[in-house]
Amino acid sequence: MPELPEVETKTRNLRRRLIGWRIVDVWSDWPRYFRLSGGLSRVRRVLIGRRIVGLERRGKNIIFDLSGGHVLAVHPKMTGHFLFSPPPHPHYAHLIFDLKKGRAKSKLYFSDVRKFARILVGPKDVIMARPEISKLGPDPLGISFKEFMARTGRHRGRIKTILLNQEVLAGVGNIYSDEALYLAHIHPLSRLEKIPPAKLELLFNKLVWVLKKSLKLRGTTRRDYRDVNGRRGGYFSHRLIYACKGQKCKCGGIIEAVKIGSRTSHFCPRCQKICN
């Protein structure tokens, strides 16, 4: 599933290209996208004619600010991504926007192999108040270590589970939590309340560092993720531990994997010790 760097990359790309464009038509062959917004017919009535006036990211959601105080909020889930050109496999384009700016015309495609994306359309105050968005925690790139401690300190349990909790920190997922825990030498099964404050500060700093590094590389592509120009993210070839089970760590240990909840976590048992 795309995480903060991937969604932020898309949002920045879209912002550079789409401000001022007007939605003149909406096509979709997957009406389930719109069941939370009253159906495709209603969504078309709301969107058509509105101008895109801004774009922002909230956690893993891309928020299109539209004229008239409305928004289009898209959570790409596992395989969704926007493209300015038709996807290599056109049958995966389940949503297409026709756009116009002056005499110029363009299209924006939403490709989604698994069709799991969540799309919300409506007045901004209503959509942003929905629990899927309003309950999200702060962006880890926008808080201090003190705020990080205040957010995480309300919880007890495995540090990996807490990092993945979107109500604690919005945008962090499996890839970058694995990478940050590795860089901080913290085992993903360590209990938060047993980790020394100095180690937690190191974890926070490494999390911020790895998110920024991935942003510079346009995110991580392992399978489906592409930016809006169809390019793969570059971080996967720079990763340190994610999806490296069986490989040798630089300390000499062999990288292992363990299921925590429903997610597979990667760690080195030699340099990431459990704090219990």
Token pair of 257, please?
């994997």
What does the alpha-carbon distance between residue 187 and residue 130 come to, in Å, rounded to a whole number?
35
* Other Cβ atoms closer than 10 A to 1: 18
Tell me the one-letter amino acid at 237: S
Q: Which residues contact 43 (CB under 8 A, 6 or more apart)?
A: 26, 34, 37, 119, 121
Token pair of 115, please?
């069709």
Residues with catalytic roles: 2-3, 60, 263
Token pair of 72, please?
């289009």
* Sheet strands (E) in 52-207: 52-58, 61-66, 70-75, 80-83, 93-101, 104-112, 118-123
The conformation of residue 37, written as its DSSP 8-state character, comes to G
* Sheet strands (E) in the chain: 22-28, 52-58, 61-66, 70-75, 80-83, 93-101, 104-112, 118-123, 256-260, 263-267
Closest CA to 77 of 94, 91, 90, 89: 94
What does the alpha-carbon distance between residue 94 and residue 253 come to, in Å, rounded to a whole number?
45
